[in-house]
Structure 1
């Protein structure tokens, strides 16, 4: 019998808080990792949702697939993983809790059913913005205009649900699991299935339950006190919000509480597959699309940087050929798609031809020397950030740049379009605190000529060459093309902290 494939993305889950050394946060994932395989050095190709999911769906990096802050859409010139499975006669379904991952941004191709949990009844018209308009006559005008764009009853119901009901319980995980249980019960079972799920819980704002959070709280901090800490990432980045070390410690406990809650929902999803008698015949994947900065590097949220806090993500695969326990190979999330095709013997030659990732099940694959990550345009743009917080200082304006990173086993280089270069020795500096190319750091400089800085210069030159060779090895997407989004989508994204121009 052909195996099913389930891919679960824990949106905004960084490795260090899913599998911390000091405590157990995600026991379900730890169990799945012990029974299956955990790839403990998995690196996302981008630090935020849109480009990272596009890489996961196509097996390519952002420069090739072209979906990023400057072009907010996955074009149809590359095949998607869902299309590859559909071509092999798989039933393909998706449930998304993140507005970026929807038909509007090009992610529904290949799926027979695509469920958007921010709508109570699935519809093309989105009215989540209606309840957030101004009061008085302006609100009345907006309601009147929007209600009659499509089915007015459905539109009104979705508006009320999206604004006042959905967020009371969680960010959609509970309803996601309910829908999947119903779908599993109703399907005919003749075809294998590919099911993609995006869970949003670890994303800002952190609103975990008291039950899943209290065990993580630092001594002397109550749940209510932690929940009272401001979570305005953009005001913090702009220097308009002061947060202490204690504040960030409290926010990290809320973040772990969200992960713990989601771990319970993943256990429910596993139970649903078991109840439907599908678990033993399913390759089950859990990963993160990117990580999070919680005061790390002077940042909040997951923008403007390519540090390991944003790129190092969990990757656990259970079922089928995956039973090897911990795997410390250097892995890119672009490897996941060709790996899954191999795991269930799907040919998909066109997809394999385009993919830049390599199957982790390929016995002839050489050990990977480098992985890459890209941040091709700031999101939000400096204009959008300035509109939100007022004028920007020169210190903040430095984020108006493109970034690329290349890392090997121990060394990592981050290169900016503004001429900036950062080089870190991850073996001794996993938190990337000392830029070995900077003469401002005591450990890395003696007029820039001591032995350590000379070694860093040589390593940076090697990584520079590897990055240049990689960039020259494939055709890049057209950077001049444009993509637009609806007003409703833009407003939903602003709710998640993604400011739009």
Structure 2
């Protein structure tokens, strides 16, 4: 239910079945109508004068709809053979809405620069969205248990980003590499639930999820994977000594590398966020990344700088061939509603 991972961008590749739950356009418009200039003008008027009134279905399909779709799919004999199921929820994302839904909500596209005074209210609504999501993920797990699938399944739950609520003077996501935007949850439940409640104090990245799933299924991990197999149940230390992140969005071209002790972030000199070209943080004593110690810790900065360079080269080496594609006006409208395009 996010156009970024729809068939428009070929994310259906490799799946036997791929369902994209599209949002409903404003004014109940159909896709041809959404391509007209009149529709765009009416949409802009609505967002400007009713910026605090939202309908979740205009942005994405909420968790109860997604879970119902998955439940219906499971009812068609999913327990008869092994399966891989990818489920994408959007509820931990803007617009930040009141739950249960009553029409109050705040979207990035309607007000990209809110006053700092509303940060706590937005955070409360975001937390409410997470609680709502938790309820419906729980309902999905209940369905898995009822079908005798939960104990037999490996379940991984994660996110692709967090949200900023003025921790570093900004909003939303995609414009910095501070932890509030990139430190995401990763919960893995192996079959049999043998390590329930265990916390693994090792570095991990989203790249590690795929090889971990493949290894748990007893299949060979392809050499083309960048990630490492996470030590879920044997207590081994992870092979990963650092985590690399990068971002190129709205003029902010950023890279970061993190170890257990340090984090280095680099930014282009003309970035709109006004970030320093280089910032070093002691994440042990300063987990909120509030004090740039680059000048006071030149040796650590040099080590992290070299690691950042190696990580960037490795990331480029694993890149595949690409070609420039396009998207229709309806897809562009869906992306715009979620703040991905202007």
Q: Under TM normalisation by the shorter chain, which class is it?
A: 0.7 to 0.9
Deviation at 1:102, TM superposition (A): 1.2
TM-score, structure 1 normalization: 0.57
Take 1:296 and 1:165, find their aligned partners in 2: how far apart are those partners? 28
Who is 1:459 aligned against?
300
Counterpart selection for 2:68 from 170, 178, 183: 178
Asked if residue 208 in structure 1 is aligned to residue 208 in structure 2, the reply is no
The total of aligned residue pairs comes to: 315
**327-336 or 362-371, larger mean C-alpha shift:** 362-371
Deviation at 1:471, TM superposition (A): 2.7
- Partners of 1:321 and 1:343 within 8 A in 2: no
Who is 1:495 aligned against?
337
Deviation at 1:478, TM superposition (A): 7.3
Greater relative contact order (Cα < 8 A, sep 6+)? 1
Who is 2:210 aligned against?
337
- Partners of 1:201 and 1:259 within 8 A in 2: yes
Deviations 1:155-179 (A, max 9, x none): xxxxxxxxx9862898331121112
Deviations 1:353-406 (A, max 9, x none): 11110001487775422111011x21xx3xxxxxxxxxxxxxxxxxx2421100
Larger Rg: 1
- Partners of 2:226 and 2:318 within 8 A in 1: no
- Partners of 1:236 and 1:299 within 8 A in 2: no
List alignment gaps of at least 5 residues for structure 2.
Answer: 43-53, 270-275
Take 2:78 and 2:135, find their aligned partners in 1: how far apart are those partners? 28
List alignment gaps of at least 5 residues for structure 1.
Answer: 1-96, 121-125, 140-163, 212-222, 382-399, 438-447
Secondary structure of residue in 2 paired with 1:178: helix
Deviation at 1:274, TM superposition (A): 1.5
Secondary structure of residue in 1 paired with 2:11: coil
Counterpart selection for 2:292 from 420, 435, 438: 435
Who is 2:77 aligned against?
187
- Partners of 1:236 and 1:242 within 8 A in 2: no
Deviations 1:222-259 (A, max 9, x none): x99xx47x54468544xxx4331xx1111111000000
Deviations 1:138-158 (A, max 9, x none): 99xxxxxxxxxxxxxxxxxxx
Who is 1:269 aligned against?
140
Q: 1:321 to 1:355 in 2, by over 3 A?
A: farther
Q: 1:199 to 1:464 in 2, by over 3 A?
A: same
Task: After TM superposition, list the pairs within 5 Å mapping 1:300-315 onto structure 2.
Answer: 300-315=171-186
Asked if residue 368 in structure 1 is aligned to residue 240 in structure 2, the reply is yes
Counterpart selection for 2:127 from 242, 250, 256: 256
Answer 1 or 2: which has greater helix percent. Answer: 1
TM-score, structure 2 normalization: 0.82
- Partners of 2:155 and 2:188 within 8 A in 1: yes
Take 2:15 and 2:305, find their aligned partners in 1: how far apart are those partners? 39
Asked if residue 421 in structure 1 is aligned to residue 263 in structure 2, the reply is no
Who is 1:117 aligned against?
21
Deviation at 1:470, TM superposition (A): 2.4
Deviations 1:211-232 (A, max 9, x none): 9xxxxxxxxxxx99xx47x544
